[in-house]
Amino acid sequence: MPELPEVETTRRGIAPHVEGQRVERVIVRERRLRWPIPEDLDVRLSGQRIEHVQRRAKYLLLQAESGTLIAHLGMSGSLRLVPSGQPALKHEHVDFELESGMSLRYTDPRRFGALLWSADPLAHELLRNLGPEPLTDAFDGERLFELSRGRSMAVKPFIMDNAVVVGVGNIYASEALFAAGIDPRRAAGAISRARYQRLAQEIKRILAHAIERGGTTLRDFVGGDGLPGYFQQELFVYGRGGEFCKVCGSTLREVRLGQRASVYCGRCQR
């Protein structure tokens, strides 16, 4: 699933080509996504100018003059620019034709993403209860420490909870916990303030670095420019169960936490 760096990479890729452009037509070839695409999306968006392309958690917000298109890439979705009129392939479900002669094309083989319309996106039920963005001052180790008190759940699913902080998915939670030296199985409430301060710093550092590297290419993710990300080459633990730790040489272990595979080093992480 595209995580926050992949979504931010997409935002940065499409924004210069979309912002300030008027939408001439919306072509919907497949309406059945996670939630059906609104029947009147073409009427609402056609003729509108896209003023800003923003991101909230893993949602892209294309702000037009009278409302906002909320886009989620789901498990396998992507948004990229193609010449208007370019024939669509099987899983290329929606085109937003722009006055520039280019189209913003939504592709989603598994159809688990979403394209919704809202007059007030931050009040939308999908966004209104989200926690702070991880790369802002609203997120820090003190927040993690305070919210974790009395919590017996493992620390990895705790930091993946979108009410705690948004956008720390499976890949980057695994990598941040390794960098901070914290065993992902440890109870969230048993971790000290100092260790949470280190963990928050590593979350910020790793997410920022992944964004600069273009995200992580896993299966079929590509950025808004059609190019893959390159952070995958730098993964220390994610997807490397049974391999050697790059730091100490011991064999990495794999367990399941919160129904997700979790790889960690029994020597480096305590």
Clarify whether residues 101 and 67 are in a common domain. Answer: yes
The pLDDT of residue 37 is 97
Q: Judge if 38 and 85 occupy the same domain.
A: yes
* Of 92, 123, 154, the domain-final residue: 123
Query: Residue 129: what pLDDT?
Result: 95
Residue with tokens 């409302």: 67
103 shares its domain with 151: no
Read off the pTM.
0.88
Domain membership flag for residue 269: no
pLDDT tens column, 102-120: 999 999 999 999 999 999 9
Q: Is 110 annotated as a binding residue?
A: yes
In the chain, the number of structural domains is 2
Check the annotation: does 105 bind a ligand. Answer: no
Is residue 2 annotated as a catalytic residue, yes or no?
A: yes
Note whether residue 136 is domain-resident. Answer: no
Last residue of a domain, which of 96, 123, 150?
123
| 55-91 per-position pLDDT tens digit | 999 999 999 999 999 999 998 899 999 999 999 999 9
Residue 3 designated active-site: yes
CB 121 within 8 A of CB 70: yes
Q: What span, in angstroms and rounded, lies between the C-alpha atoms of 129 and 124?
A: 9
Q: What is the CATH number of the domain that holds 157?
A: 1.10.8.50
Return the CATH number at 104. Answer: 3.20.190.10
209 annotated as ligand-binding: no
Domain that holds residue 16: 4-123
Is 92 found in the same domain as 167?
A: no
| 260 in catalytic set | yes
Give pLDDT < 70 ranges for the chain. 1, 215-233
Note the maximum CA span of the chain.
59
Last-in-domain residue among 80, 96, 123:
123
CB distance 223 to 229 below 8 Å: yes
Average pLDDT over the chain, rounded to an integer: 92
